[in-house]
Amino acid sequence: MKKSNSLILLLLSILVFEQSCESFHPEEVHNLNDGKVLRIGHGGLGFVSLYPFNPYPANSFKALKLALEEYKADGIEVDLQMTADNRLVLYHDNYLDSKTHLKNCVSNYDYDEIVGKEYKLGIPYDWFQGEKIIDLDSLLTYVKATNLSPLIHIDIRHFSHCLSAEENEVRMYQIVDELLGSLMRNNFPLEKVLLNSSSFELCNYIMRKEARVDVSFEINIEVDNWIPKVHSAGIKYVTIKPKLLDQKLSERWHNLGIQVITFGGARKKWNIELLRKNPDIIQTDHLSSLNELLLE
């Protein structure tokens, strides 16, 4: 207990002394939402960190609940993977070794072997968290039980590093079919859902399903080359890494009526940098600082 108290005092000291000299005014943003930027909790509260202190794993129930109920986010982003028996769970990393005592990939395990397994993040984080891997249905059930009506961004992690190219090719469509089926079985409001994928083929597959959910194509390279392709496909959202995004690029997408999503912002000054790129949506790793910039 003394160790945890010392850690808290250290973090509070850092908070007092780290003051950003930068200022930002919400009216500086120019986007398709008349300057309003939607605040989406990236995995809930972002990745675990010492400063700002966050001991809760991305996609864990506590992180998602705090993002919605305490920080009043407009929505949350989660990472979706599929088990060996075609069930859907929330987990970010390529390998389970990084955050749990399990080995290899989500695709190596059946549902009952992975859901409920504890996250293991090491000291000091495990002094403060006891979270477990949850499934998609649990999240949908929780969200429906609240009166919050948040947006749910689902990042479809269709590629498993533990499977062959042929196996991944088949499973990438299965994960979408199971996802859409889960949304329908849970009678979840589809207008509140955005599905994100770095596979253009998968985005087109979702569009052809006419599932009445929004789709975002995540672009990691050669952004300029994708502009005409995304526009022709009728996709209305793009997700772009901060290092690839600037005001001019956002303007080009906006001129086509396509909304821009970016992510990151683990500190206030980094959220300011994201805002200055004129996005429509930020999946932030630090909701409290983004709230401070946009709401106060």
**Using 50, 70 and 90 to split pLDDT, how confident is the model at 194?**
very high
Determine the longest span between alpha carbons in the chain, in angstroms: 60
- 8 A C-beta contact, residue 78 and residue 134: no
Q: Is residue 18 part of a domain?
A: no
CA separation for the pair 260, 228 (Å, rounded): 15
Q: What is the pLDDT of residue 2?
A: 56
Q: What is the pLDDT of residue 24?
A: 85
CA distance readout (Å), 233 to 203, 238, 247? 9, 12, 23
CA separation for the pair 139, 67 (Å, rounded): 13
Q: What is the pLDDT of residue 23?
A: 77
Residue 3 has pLDDT above 80, yes or no: no
pLDDT digits (tens, 9 = 90+) for 82-96: 999 999 999 999 999
**Using 50, 70 and 90 to split pLDDT, how confident is the model at 189?**
very high
| CATH number for the domain harbouring residue 153 | 3.20.20.190
Q: Tokens 């006419």 — which residue?
A: 210
pLDDT digits (tens, 9 = 90+) for 222-280: 999 999 999 999 999 999 999 999 999 999 999 999 999 999 999 999 999 999 999 99
Q: Which domain holds residue 67?
A: 28-295
CA distance readout (Å), 61 to 15, 42, 49, 214, 254? 26, 13, 17, 24, 34
Q: Is residue 261 part of a domain?
A: yes
- Give the start-end residues of each E strand in the chain: 38-42, 75-82, 88-90, 151-156, 193-197, 214-219, 237-240, 259-264, 281-284
Q: Is residue 270 part of a domain?
A: yes
Q: Is the pTM of this model over 0.85?
A: yes
Q: How far apart are the first and last CA of the chain?
A: 35
Q: What is the pLDDT of residue 17?
A: 46
CA separation for the pair 105, 266 (Å, rounded): 27
Q: Is residue 2 part of a domain?
A: no
Q: Is residue 123 part of a domain?
A: yes
Q: What is the pLDDT of residue 11?
A: 56
Least confident of 16-25, 131-140, 187-196: 16-25
Q: Tokens 């996250």 — which residue?
A: 119
Nearest CA to 154 out of 236, 37, 244, 42 is that of 42
- Average pLDDT, integer, range 100-105: 98
Domain count, the chain: 1
CA separation for the pair 131, 141 (Å, rounded): 18
CA separation for the pair 19, 108 (Å, rounded): 46
Side-chain-facing half-sphere of 139: CA atoms under 13 Å: 36
Q: What is the pLDDT of residue 123?
A: 96
Per cent of the chain over pLDDT 70 is 93
**What values do phi and psi take at 29, rounded to 5?**
-80, 135
Q: Is residue 11 part of a domain?
A: no
